[in-house]
Structure 1
Amino acid sequence: MTPGIPQRLTPAQLKELESAHQLLRQGHAGDALALVRRVVKDAPHSADALQLLAMCLADVGDVAGAEASFMHALEQAPHHPGILFNFGTWLCRQGRRQAAVESYRAATVAEPGFVGAWIRLGTIMLELGDVTQAAGAFQHAVKLQPDAAHAWQGLGRAQQSLGDLDAAAAALRKATMLSPGDSSPWIDLGTTLQSLGHLEEAMASFEQARRHGATSPAISNAITGLLADLGRTDEAMEQSRRLVITHPDFAPGQVKLARLLWSHDTEHDAEHDPFAIMRTAVRQQPRNHALQIEFIGLLIEARKSQEALDLVRAMRRSNSDDLFLVWMEALACDSLQLREQASRLYAQAYPVLGLRSADFLNAYARHSYGSGDWDAVTRYANEAIVLDSTNQESWAHLGTAWRLAGDPREYWLMDYERLVGMVEVEPMPLFASQAESLEALKATLDGMHLTGRDPLNQSVRNGSQTSGHLFAKPDPTIAMARATLQAATERWLASLPVDPTHPFLGRNSHRVRMVGSWSVKLRSSGHHANHFHQEGWMSSAFYVSLPPSVSQETGQETGCIQFGQPAVELGLDLSPRRVIRPKAGHLALFPSYMWHGTVPFPDNEPRMTLAFDMQPAATRSKA
């Protein structure tokens, strides 16, 4: 028999194969295997028989035999789309996703109209992080079969990863219309709408998912987050408490409750420890690795580093080779100024984590400042940028390292004069003057400052920060402020030069989407510690209300915003590159990777701002 020309089967052999296929579907792989072996013995060049033999061997756990049989089948029929598809599926089950991509791709070449192959190709490409290729595969699928709900859902997921949230929402709405009883696309739609700031619609989507069978604690936790973002704090707290009672092992739920208690519990004494419930869960579940890791991270954020170090060292006694735990111990040691120990730990984890985690490389860069090794900071920042070219912390470290080394590229990257804007904003609609507009906005924001502590892992010192996505709150004044500020922002962006090689200017589409928004109200002596914004591309501060010492030209820098001075924790004696006195009704705009903070002020009157992070608005998809 010539290879590449499949052997024809007799009617009797075809009947035996059909019987074997039925047995396999019924879960009787052993009986099916016996039948198929008999057919293959008499027809050793039948691609169909060899493929079924591979599937039976896979079901009984014979990995080597299954692969060999798939390969023999493809020798007989190298362009058979069904065999290529099934081989790809088997490769996925073996964890060989890159090889599966090639098999699915070959199936689409052999049969361009094979919708299932396009969907599987898109799904695996999405898992591998090749989002653009994944979106293309799903585009093919929806064009071939416009009523394929899974294809629309996959397209929505890909578009969400690409940052085109409006297109993602449209695709996912299509998926929910085509398959309304499936909870999965409702969950994806809810997540996308939440990112867009459409919180009420997101809530409705999650509730639909619940109606259609989604009962996971993740759904309850997502709804808790939405309630908090909507300002329904008491409901969020109640639901969060119920969740940790019914699912004490669900780490994200424990974290959510701890953060809510930190932000909204007005009692700050030892009897009202916001971490007490999670700490008890950790002690009761010593084998819950995910819960322990989340708790360690929370402790480090809250500057309870000794407790974090004790816990991570206890975990490492039974998981000494876990490099993620090595990294966590290094973070805790750094927080406690145990530099030599941290250095050994970073060096131990670097050969593996340095190849795959930008977050690890950023942590190693932060650590390296302490030894004065600017070359190391530069190296780790560059390696992180290779892994994630939009990582804002990595660009912050690279700019700082260039400054320390006297490298003029600092000014190309930061350009404190050209890339920092201070824009006068028009009054909101319906208001005759800026003073009236600002007074109305201040009154609205005052009612939203309800938290008791400085927020966790934020820059605020001696002040309060609103919770959730401010621009998503159903308030007409907030909606007017959002529209006015977005218009001012996009006008400023249109004035910037073009530089495709620049990490900020090269991404400027002159349109933005908001990815986070909040208000900060600083009290006397309050300030923002120097920081950057990891979730943004561009960040901002709109000045709603300023105390006298800030708004008056006194020759002092009290309450001013400053740029270019790194975080004090890095131990660098560097002065700000630019200091600007804010003005009420003006909007500061700057790249999210640029270090910025504020100078404390002495007044009793508060300093109130409204801030938001942005990403460039993506080009609309045509599907």
Structure 2
Amino acid sequence: MNAAQAGRFRQALGLLQSGQRAQALSIAETLAGQAPQAADAWQLLGLCLADNGRQAQANAAFERALALLPGNAMVSRNYGVSLARHGKALRRQGQWEAAESVLRKALALSPEQASAWVDLGVVLRFLGRIDEALAAFRRAEGMLDQRGANALEVQNAINGVLADAGRPAEALAGARQLVALHPNHAPAHETLSNLLWENGAELAPGEDPLGEFRAAALAQPDNRALQLAFARTLMAARHAEEALAFLHPLRQREPGNALLDWFVADALDALQQHEQAAPLYAAAARGELGNLPEFLNARARHAFRTRDFALAADCAEKATRLDPRNQESWSHLGTAWRLAGDEREHWLCDYERLVGCVEVAPPPGFGDLTTFLQTLAATLDTMHNAKHEPMNQSVRGGTQTAGLLFGRDDAVIRAAEDALRTAVENWLAALPNDASHPFLSRKQRSVGFVGSWSVRLRSSGRHSNHIHSEGWASSAFYVSLPGSVLESGSESRDGWIQFGQPLEELGLDLSPRRVIQPKPGYLALFPSYMWHGTVPFDARESRLTVAFDMQPKM
């Protein structure tokens, strides 16, 4: 570039740094046209295009700069940083496979980006590739430690991944160490409490899972993040009375705080003190929380409990307008329609057509379905390391595998994932199209798994009625069942799956709309907003399933 062009280059860079993206891009485009052999001009254009949200064109500009200056450290670094930002955006949008590809290229160009290693770790953990996720987080931790930077979030993530990998003792030791070094860090306390809740019976007999968290919260009354996190944990652990007592001094210090009013209302509601909860919900609804689907769902639950079905419908309808993909809001609206005798309940749920029960073909390499199920059961049994059900989940009297099941480096799990995907795709192909329907309107030929796990229920175990807030479609695949479940009839229905009966805590006297007897090798499929649970059973054998949530895949 000549002197005039160099001046324009500096001007564009200054505009870009001051946030004047469009003006910077205009100058960069002119410069690239005037000096097509100048790598700096193309690099500048790449930076400007990326800042203007035109990533594909930015990549092309950076590639042109690298072609002119092969291996140049600055171009490689800036290109890598640009791709890392794009990868982070893709991760936040839930585009996991695309995010992995972009982040790997970013790190190949510029491997010193600790934040990109963190993002890659998050993506790989979500995809179920636990060992790779752990390696990515370890890489980020080492870089941050070397720079003397804060690695708290990464270390907390590592403890979570260790638990996912079936190494709870290591995870627990790491969580204890993190809490000891950083007693003010709420996420570390949450991790420690969850690990003790699920594994404490074996790894820390007699220890209160919430003890360390409680002590820290009481010792740090001004740490608001810690206070709120502990209150949430108390509610998740179904300790509403303690939550209410804990929240009282917080509200005294911050009278009129809508968020605290909401927390207290939830605790009062759980204790069936509905009259005291009602004005707090109403007050909170008059502010910003009144436009938050999560709050509207909480108020709808309260309205059901107090038999104010019109209010429940209003809250649910507003929430579905604000977030048309909010699964809990649709479950509430369907329940309100049912209570009102509104036929739209059947349009929304259509228990005969939208609940599928299909046989899964054995994957290649397995002679028959029985052999596959026996092999899968043996594999899953090794993954059920916890001794207690997870906190704030539907499991009652059983255990759930840690982390994501699908994506693991295990041939049997991969075979199961492929076989189940094929069964899902066949089911989807038979469903009708309906552009006005919240479930059918989003139907595609295939799905992406956004959650996958196994549940092992012991005698008297069950799933309480629930929905899946993270899914679009959900499932239950029956791996092995007790003889009492296989032999149960229409009278007892021991271990059967039921649809359409709302959450027990809502106190609604509504019977299931459809009940299905499970069979080994069969897969139940249904919209994620549909209430479902299981009937308890009495048997010496366990009830072993695989479950997963799905989103439509374009």
Could you tell me the TM-score, scaled by structure 1's length?
0.78
In the alignment, structure 1 residue 434 sits paired with structure 2 residue 369: yes
Change beyond 3 A, Cα 1:288–1:553: closer
- Match for 1:176: what amino acid? L
Displacement, 1:284? 1.7
SS at the partner of 1:515?
strand
Matches within 5 A, 1:140-151: 140-146=57-63, 147=76, 148-151=79-82
Displacement, 1:82? 6.5
SS at the partner of 1:354?
helix
- Match for 2:411: what amino acid? P
CA contact (8 A) 1:138 1:154 kept: no
Number of the residue aligned with 1:339:
274
Number of the residue aligned with 1:226:
161
SS at the partner of 1:442?
helix
In the alignment, structure 1 residue 139 sits paired with structure 2 residue 53: no
In 1, Cα distance between the equivalents of 2:297 and 2:539? 37
Instruction: From 538, 546, 554, give the equivalent of 1:610.
Output: 546
Matches within 5 A, 1:51-450: 85=16, 88=19, 104-105=21-22, 107-108=24-25, 114-121=45-52, 136-146=53-63, 147=76, 148-213=79-144, 215-266=150-201, 271-450=206-385
SS at the partner of 1:212?
helix
SS at the partner of 1:471?
coil
Number of the residue aligned with 1:575:
511
Change beyond 3 A, Cα 1:480–1:576: same
Comparing 405-414 with 244-253, greater Cα deviation is found at 405-414
CA contact (8 A) 1:424 1:585 kept: yes
In the alignment, structure 1 residue 585 sits paired with structure 2 residue 516: no
Of structures 1 and 2, the larger Rg is shown by 1
Displacement, 1:575? 1.0
In the alignment, structure 1 residue 596 sits paired with structure 2 residue 532: yes
How far does the alpha carbon of each residue in 1:111-155 deviate from its partner, in whole angstroms, 9 at most, with x for none?
Answer: 55754444444xxxxxxxxxxxxxx43334333334522321222
How far does the alpha carbon of each residue in 1:372-429 deviate from its partner, in whole angstroms, 9 at most, with x for none?
Answer: 2222222222222233222111111111111112222212211111111101011233
In 1, Cα distance between the equivalents of 2:407 and 2:163? 11
In the alignment, structure 1 residue 562 sits paired with structure 2 residue 465: no
Displacement, 1:360? 1.0
Displacement, 1:475? 2.9
CA contact (8 A) 1:119 1:154 kept: no
In 1, Cα distance between the equivalents of 2:433 and 2:114? 44
SS at the partner of 2:529?
coil
Matches within 5 A, 1:492-511: 492-511=427-446
CA contact (8 A) 1:305 1:336 kept: yes
Number of the residue aligned with 2:449:
514
Displacement, 1:601? 1.6
Change beyond 3 A, Cα 1:510–1:403: same
In 2, Cα distance between the equivalents of 1:270 and 1:200? 29
In 2, Cα distance between the equivalents of 1:277 and 1:118? 49
CA contact (8 A) 2:452 2:549 kept: yes
Change beyond 3 A, Cα 1:107–1:454: same
How far does the alpha carbon of each residue in 1:180-224 deviate from its partner, in whole angstroms, 9 at most, with x for none?
Answer: 112111111111111111222212211221232264210001111
CA contact (8 A) 2:166 2:385 kept: no
Displacement, 1:225? 1.0
Could you tell me the TM-score, scaled by structure 2's length?
0.87
CA contact (8 A) 1:139 1:155 kept: no
Structure 2: unaligned runs, 5 residues or longer: 1-6, 31-44, 64-75
Number of the residue aligned with 1:51:
none
Displacement, 1:110? 6.7
Q: Percent identity of the aligned residues?
A: 48
Change beyond 3 A, Cα 1:81–1:301: same
Structure 1: unaligned runs, 5 residues or longer: 1-17, 19-47, 49-79, 89-102, 122-135
Number of the residue aligned with 2:42:
none
RMSD after superposition: 2.4
In 2, Cα distance between the equivalents of 1:298 and 1:108? 48
In 2, Cα distance between the equivalents of 1:396 and 1:110? 52
CA contact (8 A) 1:221 1:256 kept: yes
In 2, Cα distance between the equivalents of 1:379 and 1:238? 48
Change beyond 3 A, Cα 1:406–1:118: farther
Displacement, 1:348? 1.2
Change beyond 3 A, Cα 1:118–1:316: farther
- Match for 2:60: what amino acid? K
